[in-house]
Structure 1
Amino acid sequence: MTALHDSIETLPGVGPKRLEALHALDLFTLEDLLNYFPFRYEDLGARQPSTTLDGEKVTFKGIVSTAPVVRRFGKRSQTYFGLMIDHDNVRVNFFNQPWVAKNIEADQEVAVYGTYNAAKASLAGIKLVSATLNELDPIYPASKQITAKTIRHLIELAWAKLRGQLPEMVPDDVRAKYRLLGQNQMVEWMHFPPDGPSAKQARRSAAFEEFFLFQMRLQLLKQANANYAGEPVKYDKGLVKAFIDGLPYQLTEAQQRVVHEILQDQALPKHMNRLLQGDVGSGKTVVAAIAMYAAVTAGCQAALMAPTEILAQQHAINLAKLFDEAGLDLRVELLTSGLKAAQRRQILADLEDGDIDIIIGTHALLQPDVLFHHLGLAVIDEQHRFGVKQRARLREGGVNPDILAMTATPIPRTLSLTAYGEMDVSIIDQLPAGRKPIQTKWYRHQQFDQALEFMKGQLAQGAQAYVVTPLIEESEALDVQNAQAIWEELSQELPNYQIGLLHGRLSKEEKQNLMADFKANQIQVLVATTVVEVGVDVPNASLMLILDADRFGLAQLHQLRGRVGRGQRQSYTILIADPKTAYGKERLLAMEATNDGFALAQKDLELRGAGDVLGTKQSGLPAFIVADPVKDLTMLSIAQQEAIATLAEPGWDSLTSNKGLVDYLSRTMARYRHFD
């Protein structure tokens, strides 16, 4: 008897080469094949020439009015004949398909699918179609190794074997609640729709099922994480409260809420896996400092991992200063790859002995020789820059600290429900009091002189400025030459100010010295090639000038803008660009319209698509076939709620009605162990 999880190789015509091609598309079983839905349909319904637009793909059905003629031009050929459609006579041309002539004759009724040329009343034939064929022709994702036509044939074979035997995946009450098709009806209409409305109904049901099954896996993973062995961080509430009360500023309501969520997690006897989102300048670092201090009061150590040495150094300086001003005797150390051997050995020994309370570093913290005495909390800054294996490294070797991942890249709800769905999410959605919104203006290149005059005015008032030069190509040498030219131009235009030049060919020490001079106001204008380091904090810098801004993505532009607006001055961002595409213009208009990073992130998602926002592989985004997490966000949210409700039902996995769902999850969970 044929079963859903039988291998595809049981189908006739599937040999080793074809099997390899199917495996490359993640098709292993008959179930995989039946769930490999078409990404679109070609409308093969017959139309009239009078209702067809020029260049439109269309099916014409009529009587062959002139016998087919084949003309050859070396290896190429043209087959043409007349087709009478009611009172219209259309010339049909097939190029390099001479065999078409053998399948048609004068006075025969045929249906032809092709591209219509209204001016010439001709049809460039693509294929002959059956006059009795369904109006919608499914088109499947394919590859060079296997065609969509072959995939469709295999689906037909699999459906012939399993028709009517598919178990339900979505619980009966959920299907009834949202008027979803049953599994067998849905699969049949996805592959063989009788008409447009049926295909639409099947696609809606398939999209919900795809979201629901994904969320079921995600919520099960989240449950497993929650039950994962972890120890409570028994922090001293009095000391933590005194530290918060003694801060030189009051926490915003959003910061207070997030601190409460994190401390609550730390106190529980289970592993914390929390993502802290906060727009640039929202105050994530002080929240992390409170969580790290709480761990230290419990007798644990804390670690903060940053993506770059400059940012790691800045964190070490700022945290040490924060704890020192609070009168706390904490030892904060910096571990980077640039340390001398003897200094590194000493830090590692002290870390293992427990003499270091908080260690700050880069990937250097992930080396096998970095051993902790008792690590209670690992904070990972700019979370998406670390791979799964790197983050998992902190949990290995018997060390299983709470994980607090931070990102200044606002993540729209779509990505929160997919890429980060198994993590608890805390959001700081308020800026500290007194921060003035950054004013953003878009100028054309011909208005550069206006931007320069504005910069001169700001510098005269004591402000500092960043000038970010455009990316020319994937060539560091060209970028440096370009930055050098702009540096020379500004040096001439601004003779009374110090102009610095920061680019990728400088040594690590040269970069650090430049940034230190800029922070000390010994440099008033900093020209930089690509992106000024995330997290770099120069409060007196209040102007960001970005040249050829249309070469940067929305997320990059927003991050760059976040380098200013950190002090008491009114800050400005000027975008210089002549975008050549509608997409480029939309990005710049969006930057002018809002400072809200979350709104921009959602806009970026709509403009670019989910796979490119963080990078599919890097973000762990699932490859949905039917569902669209951007357009179908409401459906995605509902699917998450229903998955949570299903798992909350006592004995859900022993209900007869959920047998198909349980069987599916037991077969597939092994494939989806990691979502972070």
Structure 2
Amino acid sequence: MALDDSVSQLAGVGPKTVTALGDLGIHTLRELLFYFPFRYDDLKARPLAELQDQEKALFKGVVISEPVISRFGPHKIRLNVRLLIDSVAVIATFFNQPWLKDKFVPDEEVAIYGKWNEPQKRVVGMKVITQQTQNELDPIYSVNKGMRQKKLISLIQTAFKQEAAGLVDVIPAEIRQHYRLLTDFELVRQMHFPRNQAESTAARRTAIFREFFLFEVQIAQLRQQDQDPEQGLVLPYQLAPLRQFIGTLPFKLTAAQKRVVNEICADLKAPAHMNRLLQGDVGSGKTVVAAIAMFAAVTAGFQAALMVPTEILAEQHFQKLSRLFAPMQVTVTLLTGSLKPAEREQALQAIKSGRTNIVIGTHALIQSGVAFKALGFVVIDEQHRFGVNQRRALREKGQNPDVLAMTATPIPRTLAITTYGEMAISTIDELPAGRRPIETHWLKTNQANQALALTEQQLAQGDQAFVIAPLISDSDQVNLKNAEDLYERLTKYFGARYQVALLHGQMTPADKEATMAAFSQGQVQVLVATTVVEVGVDVPNANVMLIFNADRFGLATLHQLRGRVGRGQRQAYCYLIADPTNEVAVKRMEIMTATNDGFVLAEADLKLRGQGDIFGDKQSGLPEFRLGDPITNNNTLMAAHQVAEELITADPTLRQPDHQGLAQYLRAQQAADQFD
């Protein structure tokens, strides 16, 4: 076997396991080895006297009573068992894990991991530790219904024994030695099987640098390609029809939009390859700018493509751009994964023959079988949702077409060079005339009914509302609102008056699309969701955004969520329900109510955010990393950026002996992306 072979090569991995691993982003043995835990449980038992209230720890004790199972509430089960720990009788409680009953045998010792409740002398158990190893830390992985922790750990152990010896270092030795980093073999071992906290810390430090370094090397390669005049494409657009098209638009461009259009058009005519990032606040009019640039490419005799992250967003852009281009006899084609075979074949023929001028689609655009006649210009919406290799794959569909990427969240200047270093940046820093700021109010949890009453007033006027919760379902570990409970509560609250729907990330793509479509079309008035609410989806009647536990989100996420409303002519409202427990969270709420300016918020987010944004960067406008945070690990990101730049400048084609591991890795990644 080889590291880039399919996980199906492992013993005991059948089709169902392959599918479950694939849902986690694991397709090859290499990806399995580098699928790292997101945290560790400390398995070093400590005396009760040392523990703080609500602290998690390993508890060893003797079972002194038969376990008792009882039911409370719908679908909820509690298991209680009494243990003698450090000569103290302690009740251990497990929620919704009745199968653990057989683990507790009177007069036998047992080890459990859980949270200590000091006032009640009780442990809220999380799991039973069946065997102690030499390791102090127990890795915890993100899993799904088809792939449980125990099974995943077993597969990782098997892959490590069989394949880890074949790992070739991707970080050159000189860089590793300078920054005191681990080899790839030691990194994998210490991330999955750390013997102590020191090994875990060293491995995580290396893993974050490695992740940033691989990203920055690819960015440096793209930038170097762009600077080669032979790699560029001149698009001699026709000014007269371009002005005519702008004249047909149902609104006047802002000064910022005009400036950005001029920057993009100058790039189109230049011989160097265009690679530009268009950043602008929610509702600033980026799509119209992209439409003008695409039309310019069409007047130059080329095709243009717009790639977006979801099918419903592709459908919305298709409808909107078809209307805009209709007066100019420009043909627009939609290409998504859900097209029927006959529709897909018709679309592919139109693209290949050149009968269509503009193609709008999801990542289906970069799959094999999609051939353009003359692709000259590509627009990528929500840039950070697509990896570097996906962006490269779309460019390879033409003769290195010019690229315009768009993001709805302004990027702080201090991050732009490292995260979008291969791009020139255009900024729309002005909202269209007449757009009203969204009224934002912060309410405490005991004022939630007041927010619901205000929401119902808006619904009575024909508006629609989003209701956001941080969790999908109930959790014994965190006291936060969850979408499923809120859905049940609001369904009862609104009764037959308004239709309520639920949307979250564990639903199938088809169910998510159908639910979002029903909301977009007005069949649903209240959408209860997690942050899965799609960036960029335009629902003009949605004028209320209600966010529970708002203090648990970063400013970037809150601003993105708020941007889902206020797309129409009516006044929009955002209600933040939060009882913040620290000064940083209080400041977030105050800043959100004080300004609608995304640029102000982006800088504030950079200053305020430590590890506070526990739900990550998925809607922050920054590239998504598995381990590293571009903000909290910014010094590491800057160091990785610098060494990647120096490496590619000195050895652009990675021919030096010490760079062969890196070159081999990048080739394998690009080959894999071609078949995704």
TM over 0.5: yes
TM-superposed deviation, 1:468: 1.7
Judged with a 3 Å threshold, the aligned counterparts in structure 2 of structure 1 residues 369 and 515 are, in CA distance, closer, same or farther, namely same
Question: 2:184 matched to which residue of 1?
Answer: none
CA contact (8 A) 2:371 2:397 kept: no
Matching of residues 608-627 of structure 1 within 5 Å? 608=610, 614=622, 617=625, 627=635
Question: 2:593 matched to which residue of 1?
Answer: 592
- What is the CA–CA distance in structure 2 between the aligned matches of 1:620 and 1:437, rounded to whole Å? 34
Judged with a 3 Å threshold, the aligned counterparts in structure 2 of structure 1 residues 623 and 221 are, in CA distance, closer, same or farther, namely farther
Amino acid at match of 1:555: A
Question: 1:427 matched to which residue of 2?
Answer: 427
TM-superposed deviation, 1:223: 5.5
DSSP-derived class of the 1:418 partner:
helix
Question: 1:450 matched to which residue of 2?
Answer: 450
Deviations 1:443-481 (A, max 9, x none): 111111211221122223333221123315699xx99x9
Judged with a 3 Å threshold, the aligned counterparts in structure 2 of structure 1 residues 301 and 220 are, in CA distance, closer, same or farther, namely closer
Judged with a 3 Å threshold, the aligned counterparts in structure 2 of structure 1 residues 404 and 240 are, in CA distance, closer, same or farther, namely same
Judged with a 3 Å threshold, the aligned counterparts in structure 2 of structure 1 residues 520 and 219 are, in CA distance, closer, same or farther, namely closer
1:33 corresponds to which of 177, 181, 187: 177
Judged with a 3 Å threshold, the aligned counterparts in structure 2 of structure 1 residues 360 and 625 are, in CA distance, closer, same or farther, namely closer
- What is the CA–CA distance in structure 1 between the aligned matches of 2:631 and 2:381, rounded to whole Å? 27
Please, which moves more after superposition, 260-269 or 395-404? 395-404
CA contact (8 A) 2:354 2:374 kept: yes
CA contact (8 A) 2:277 2:404 kept: yes
CA contact (8 A) 1:217 1:665 kept: no
DSSP-derived class of the 1:592 partner:
helix
CA contact (8 A) 2:503 2:515 kept: no
Amino acid at match of 1:388: V
Judged with a 3 Å threshold, the aligned counterparts in structure 2 of structure 1 residues 619 and 300 are, in CA distance, closer, same or farther, namely farther
Matching of residues 369-408 of structure 1 within 5 Å? 369-396=369-396, 399-408=399-408
DSSP-derived class of the 2:418 partner:
coil
**TM-score w.r.t. structure 1 length?**
0.60
Question: 2:95 matched to which residue of 1?
Answer: none
Amino acid at match of 2:281: D
Question: 1:295 matched to which residue of 2?
Answer: 297
CA contact (8 A) 1:305 1:379 kept: yes
- What is the CA–CA distance in structure 1 between the aligned matches of 2:384 and 2:394, rounded to whole Å? 16
Alignment partner of 1:352 is 2:352:
yes
Matching of residues 236-315 of structure 1 within 5 Å? 236-315=238-317
CA contact (8 A) 1:502 1:511 kept: no
- What is the CA–CA distance in structure 1 between the aligned matches of 2:168 and 2:411, rounded to whole Å? 33
Deviations 1:115-173 (A, max 9, x none): xxxxxxxxxxxxxxxxxxxxxxxxxxx999999999xxxxxxxxxxxxxxxxxxxxxxx
Question: 1:524 matched to which residue of 2?
Answer: 525
TM-superposed deviation, 1:437: 0.9
- What is the CA–CA distance in structure 2 between the aligned matches of 1:580 and 1:284, rounded to whole Å? 37
- What is the CA–CA distance in structure 2 between the aligned matches of 1:363 and 1:262, rounded to whole Å? 24
Question: 2:499 matched to which residue of 1?
Answer: 499
Deviations 1:255-278 (A, max 9, x none): 111111111101112211111111
DSSP-derived class of the 1:409 partner:
coil
- What is the CA–CA distance in structure 2 between the aligned matches of 1:216 and 1:365, rounded to whole Å? 25
Question: 1:488 matched to which residue of 2?
Answer: 488
DSSP-derived class of the 1:465 partner:
strand
Judged with a 3 Å threshold, the aligned counterparts in structure 2 of structure 1 residues 414 and 464 are, in CA distance, closer, same or farther, namely same
DSSP-derived class of the 1:277 partner:
strand
TM-superposed deviation, 1:423: 0.6
TM-superposed deviation, 1:588: 2.5
- What is the CA–CA distance in structure 2 between the aligned matches of 1:25 and 1:545, rounded to whole Å? 46
Judged with a 3 Å threshold, the aligned counterparts in structure 2 of structure 1 residues 628 and 601 are, in CA distance, closer, same or farther, namely farther
DSSP-derived class of the 2:456 partner:
helix
Matching of residues 409-428 of structure 1 within 5 Å? 409-428=409-428
CA contact (8 A) 2:472 2:483 kept: no
Matching of residues 77-476 of structure 1 within 5 Å? 222=223, 224-227=225-228, 228-324=230-326, 327-396=327-396, 399-472=399-472
- What is the CA–CA distance in structure 1 between the aligned matches of 2:634 and 2:530, rounded to whole Å? 41
- What is the CA–CA distance in structure 2 between the aligned matches of 1:497 and 1:385, rounded to whole Å? 37
Deviations 1:564-591 (A, max 9, x none): 1212222111011223444433333332
Judged with a 3 Å threshold, the aligned counterparts in structure 2 of structure 1 residues 429 and 669 are, in CA distance, closer, same or farther, namely farther
- What is the CA–CA distance in structure 1 between the aligned matches of 2:453 and 2:533, rounded to whole Å? 23
- What is the CA–CA distance in structure 2 between the aligned matches of 1:499 and 1:666, rounded to whole Å? 61
- What is the CA–CA distance in structure 1 between the aligned matches of 2:531 and 2:637, rounded to whole Å? 31
Judged with a 3 Å threshold, the aligned counterparts in structure 2 of structure 1 residues 354 and 587 are, in CA distance, closer, same or farther, namely same
- What is the CA–CA distance in structure 2 between the aligned matches of 1:274 and 1:215, rounded to whole Å? 17
Deviations 1:225-265 (A, max 9, x none): 13252221111110001111221100111111111111110
- What is the CA–CA distance in structure 1 between the aligned matches of 2:342 and 2:534, rounded to whole Å? 29
CA contact (8 A) 1:503 1:530 kept: no
Matching of residues 35-50 of structure 1 within 5 Å? none
Question: 2:29 matched to which residue of 1?
Answer: none
Please, which moves more after superposition, 285-294 or 597-606? 597-606
Judged with a 3 Å threshold, the aligned counterparts in structure 2 of structure 1 residues 314 and 474 are, in CA distance, closer, same or farther, namely farther
Amino acid at match of 1:554: L
TM-superposed deviation, 1:34: 4.8
DSSP-derived class of the 1:568 partner:
coil
TM-superposed deviation, 1:420: 0.9
- What is the CA–CA distance in structure 2 between the aligned matches of 1:514 and 1:237, rounded to whole Å? 43
CA RMSD in angstroms, aligned pairs only = 4.4
DSSP-derived class of the 1:417 partner:
helix
Amino acid at match of 2:459: L
- What is the CA–CA distance in structure 1 between the aligned matches of 2:249 and 2:356, rounded to whole Å? 23
Paired residues in the alignment total 462
Judged with a 3 Å threshold, the aligned counterparts in structure 2 of structure 1 residues 23 and 593 are, in CA distance, closer, same or farther, namely farther
TM-superposed deviation, 1:303: 0.7
Amino acid at match of 2:602: A
CA contact (8 A) 2:304 2:357 kept: yes
Judged with a 3 Å threshold, the aligned counterparts in structure 2 of structure 1 residues 569 and 270 are, in CA distance, closer, same or farther, namely same
Could you tell me the percent identity over the aligned residues? 50
DSSP-derived class of the 1:394 partner:
helix
Judged with a 3 Å threshold, the aligned counterparts in structure 2 of structure 1 residues 489 and 626 are, in CA distance, closer, same or farther, namely closer
CA contact (8 A) 2:442 2:577 kept: yes
- What is the CA–CA distance in structure 1 between the aligned matches of 2:397 and 2:578, rounded to whole Å? 51
Please, which moves more after superposition, 303-312 or 495-504? 495-504
CA contact (8 A) 2:412 2:603 kept: yes
**TM-score w.r.t. structure 2 length?**
0.60
TM-superposed deviation, 1:516: 4.2
TM-superposed deviation, 1:615: 5.7
TM-superposed deviation, 1:619: 11
- What is the CA–CA distance in structure 2 between the aligned matches of 1:341 and 1:664, rounded to whole Å? 43
Please, which moves more after superposition, 264-273 or 464-473? 464-473
TM-superposed deviation, 1:508: 5.0
TM-superposed deviation, 1:375: 0.3
Question: 1:577 matched to which residue of 2?
Answer: 578
Amino acid at match of 1:666: A
CA contact (8 A) 1:384 1:618 kept: no
Amino acid at match of 1:426: S
DSSP-derived class of the 2:231 partner:
coil
CA contact (8 A) 2:443 2:575 kept: yes
Amino acid at match of 2:463: A
- What is the CA–CA distance in structure 2 between the aligned matches of 1:417 and 1:410, rounded to whole Å? 13
TM-superposed deviation, 1:624: 12
TM-superposed deviation, 1:548: 1.9
CA contact (8 A) 2:412 2:599 kept: yes
Please, which moves more after superposition, 366-375 or 584-593? 584-593
Judged with a 3 Å threshold, the aligned counterparts in structure 2 of structure 1 residues 369 and 564 are, in CA distance, closer, same or farther, namely same
DSSP-derived class of the 2:304 partner:
strand
Deviations 1:571-619 (A, max 9, x none): 1110112234444333333322321222222333331379966367479
Judged with a 3 Å threshold, the aligned counterparts in structure 2 of structure 1 residues 664 and 260 are, in CA distance, closer, same or farther, namely closer
